[in-house]
A and B are shown apart, each in its own frame.
Chain A
Amino acid sequence: MLVPRRAASAAGARELWLAAHFPRLPLEALLPAAASTRAAVAIEAGDPRRTIACCNERAARQGILPGMSLAGALALVPGLRAEERQPAAEAALLDRLARWALQFTPVVSLEPPAAVLAEVRGSLDLFGGAMSLCRRALAGLSGSGLGASLAIAPTPRAALWLARAGLGMTVTRSDALPGLAARLPLACLQWPPEAVATLSALGIRSVADVLRLPRAEFAARFGPALLDELDAGLGRRREPHRRHVIPERFDERLPLPCEATAAAGLVPAFERLLANLEAFLRARACGVPGMRLDLLHRARAPTRLRLGLARPSSDAVELRRLLRERLARCPLPAPVTALRLRTGMLLPQAPRDAALLERGRSADPEATARLLDRLRARLGRQAVFGVCPVPEHRPERAWQVAEPGGKAPLSASWPAAAAARPLWMLAEPQPFDDWAGVQVSGPERIESGWWDGHDVRRDYYVAWTRAGVRLWIFRERPPGGGWFLHGVFG
């Protein structure tokens, strides 16, 4: 018998878990609630058979079931709206639902793909009991157009089973759980399909049937993990759940003691804000990928400064230097009354150990990103760039401006040009007519690009000028076209 022989803890369980299962989450993540007036289905992403993962109520009424192929469903309902599942959108919706659940209790955990768990034992009195809490939760969910089934049980696993089975029940005693097992279908366990198929072949339809199987043989055949799950559901064994924590942000406002008319007057205030930010980040071992500084004025919209970083940072010295450059370049349209410093999401950052002895500054792996940030803060984003080669025969298209440090898209198989290429390229070819003392060798013929309207038909020559400069010049073909200077060998 799978039912533990020892009697489970009697009345008044220490914990009560609310499980909210969202059977149509894949669809609701894709379509707004208003779209439910039409039959719609979500189909599995990347599935050649285009199996239906879930359908809305209207589609279900017309006979569509999850697991059907899309072709079959379209035969039933020709006007069916079909969307491919988007795991990212589903995860985002589930995350929003977890935030919503935090209004009932601080202990909330995500149960992907489509459920949220919340420990509500301590909140029952506040919300007037389990039934009232469930009603309130359901009202909130249906208000935002989400179909959910809720259940409360002493263990999170059992609450999930009940919710998935669609039994809107409140079970407060652990010893009542085995008795409910007969009403739980096998599907609510959400076990791997192979295990479910094997069990069905054995004639097992409900959780109660599973519990009647001998423990040792069950574990030998299906693995100990499934047995652990059963034990966890019946309260025989505790199961850890990761608590859902809302990401924090830094947002602080500091009024100035007197209005500042020049950027220099803001420095003491933002130094204070930055010191707070650094303490905040250090306490959480996090860095920020960027921040926003708002300069608030008395009677006009705030001046907003945005600062992006090449890599997350928590170094106040560095952030201060960047913000100072940014402030120095920003004219103040009006006197500033207050400052507000905000960060985006915090990113965990491995704390850097403080060196006992001064290390060489060049040993710092973040120095490259810091230099980039500093140059861009003062000179502007466009003035600082990288270059990368492009697989292309036309010289002016064989390179492009790239984000510094980015990987080149050039495949290794692209052959290097047969002839030498100049180290300097002119932004635009320039007419060339200064032929005094010039010696020429060549040509290298380049003809390409007739298919995209930027046809290039040129003969390239290397020219030595009297000053000793080696130039890369070309003549348009057919001959008779002018000569142009395109590069300098440097």
Chain B
Amino acid sequence: MTDALAALLRHPRLWRGGGLTQGLATVPTGFRRLDERLPGGGWPLAALTELLVPTAGIGEIRLLLPALCALAADRPEAPRWIAWLAPPHLPYAPALTAAGLDSSRMLVVRPQAGLDVLWAMEQALGSGACAAVLGWVEAADGTALRRLTLAAEEGGSPGFLFRPPRHRDEASPAALRLLLTAHADGLDVEILKCRGGMPARVDRLPVH
């Protein structure tokens, strides 16, 4: 019986949702409760993650920091950039160093025009030269997001896109979509969409 089931499950025309997470490359977020909810146990590599943030500064960078440190230290013989595209403020080098990041690997890009942000993010994701790409994009339509997703897959870099929560109900090709809400005692993370997993909530993550 079990053999028959196994044989059936191996049938090439049978598609199983859970199988998507197998072999999915991820990097642990550094927060155990969040890792348990995410398919593959962490931020997806070679994919786009969308973070919907109501106000810049509620803890979205500290949520990413453990993963950024792990990604930056991943390949010491060929160090790659951590790209910050159109950040709302300037990344503060002493704090980055204190957090364990090598500040010489930071690449800050502040283009004049909004369209250039999407272009630069696509270049950074597709180049394979970035350990992580963080982008703050105001307006991006489905086509632009699709391009970013493809670039992330091609370059093998994880992309983190920060957008306001009003885009919550728009369709998005991102592999993972999170809505962040801040509280005095932690960060609420609502998983709106994740490829190969179920929507879920993680309350009061201690990012402070």
A binding-site residues for B, Cβ under 8 Å: 360-365, 367-368, 370-372, 374-375, 378-379, 383-390, 395, 398-400, 402, 404-408, 410, 416-417, 420-427, 439, 464, 467-471, 487-490
Contact B94 A389 (CB under 8 A): yes
A426-B103 in contact (CB<8A): no
Closest partner residue, chain B, to A403 (CB atom): B104
A387: chain B residues at CB < 8 Å are 90-93, 96, 103, 106, 108
Verify A416–B129 contact, CB threshold 8 A: no
Report the count of interface residues on B (CB-CB < 8 A).
Answer: 56
Pairwise interchain contact B95-A384, C-beta atoms closer than 8 A: no
Q: Is the CB of A422 within 8 A of B92?
A: yes
Given contacts A389-B97, A489-B62, contact A371 B56 (CB under 8 A): no
A362 to B, closest residue via Cβ: B128
Q: 28 A-B Cβ contacts within 8 A?
A: A361-B154, A362-B80, A367-B127, A370-B129, A371-B123, A374-B123, A375-B107, A375-B109, A378-B116, A383-B109, A384-B109, A385-B108, A386-B104, A386-B108, A387-B92, A389-B93, A395-B94, A399-B92, A417-B94, A423-B62, A423-B65, A423-B95, A468-B181, A469-B56, A469-B58, A488-B57, A490-B59, A490-B62
Measured in the bound complex, the distance between the Cα atoms of B81 and A416 in whole Å is: 23
Q: State the CA gap A252–B143 with chains docked (Å).
A: 41
Closest chain A residue, CB of each to CB of B92? A425
For the complex, give the distance between the alpha carbons of A249 and B102 in Å.
38
B contact residues around A389 at 8 Å (CB): 93-94, 97, 103
A160–B85 alpha-carbon span in the complex (Å): 62
A423 with B58: CB separation less than 8 A: no
- Per the 8 Å Cβ criterion, residues 36-73 of B in contact with A are 54-62, 65
Closest Cβ neighbor of B95 among chain A residues: A421
Q: Closest Cβ of chain B: how far from A432's Cβ, in Å?
A: 14
Nearest A-chain residue to B86, judged by Cβ: A383
- How far is B104's CA from A314's CA once the two chains are assembled, in angstroms? 26
B105 within 8 A of A: yes
Besides A467-B58, A487-B89, 12 more A-B contacts (Cβ < 8 Å) are A361-B127, A361-B154, A367-B127, A378-B116, A383-B111, A387-B96, A405-B105, A407-B104, A416-B94, A423-B62, A425-B91, A467-B55
Main secondary structure of the interface of B (DSSP, over half): mixed
CB contact between A368 and one of B81, B116, B184 (< 8 Å): that residue: B81
A408 to B104, CA, bound (A): 6
Contacts of B78 in A (CB 8 A): 363, 365, 368
Residue among A368, A370, A385, A422 making CB contact with B95, cutoff 8 Å:
A422
Residues of A within 8 A of B129 (CB): 362, 367-368, 370-371
Q: Distance in Å from the Cβ of B15 to the closest Cβ of chain A?
A: 27
Closest to A424 in B: B89
Say yes or no for B137: interface residue by CB 8 A criterion.
Answer: no
